Amino acid sequence: MNRIARIAAGATGAVALLAAPVPAFAAASTTATTTVTTCGWSGLQAGLSTKVCADVTGDSVVIYGQIGMAGPPSPGTPWPPAPKELLTRLSADVTGGNSLGAVNGRTVFQISTVRVDGPTATVPCGSTVHASFSVEALGWGPSPVTVDVPVGC
């Protein structure tokens, strides 16, 4: 088979593939609900950066907090920094409505960003979820960060 015949055969095959019907599962995947992630402003505290986020998928809400480094270490700071044992509190509620729950815990932070999982709930469409996340340790108290997230469905 010469080169021109191979190109023609390849083009004919490509046309046949493009003209084939689309499988039924492709239509089902386009109707999937999208997850929207919203995070509040970061808070700075004792060299740490904290923030609270919410993932909203339809009427389902997942709340979580994040703890990370506030920035590069100051010159002369020992590296890696010593691990810090932190007390965490993460809570959420529907504005003007019920509490979605609270999670209190302990976590050890050294360098890598830490995710603290919180309440997961189904909430009424059209409502707003308010979440709060705070971190404290021996020698320094909590400095909460918040986020308000609309649940549009």
For residue range 78-117, list pLDDT tens digits in order.
878 888 999 999 999 999 889 999 999 999 998 899 999 9
For residue range 108-136, list pLDDT tens digits in order.
998 899 999 999 999 999 999 999 999 99
Average pLDDT, the chain: 83
End-to-end CA distance of the chain: 58
For residue range 61-73, list pLDDT tens digits in order.
999 999 999 988 8
pLDDT at 82: 84
pLDDT at 18: 40
- Domains in the chain, CATH or no CATH each: 34-150 (2.60.40.2420)
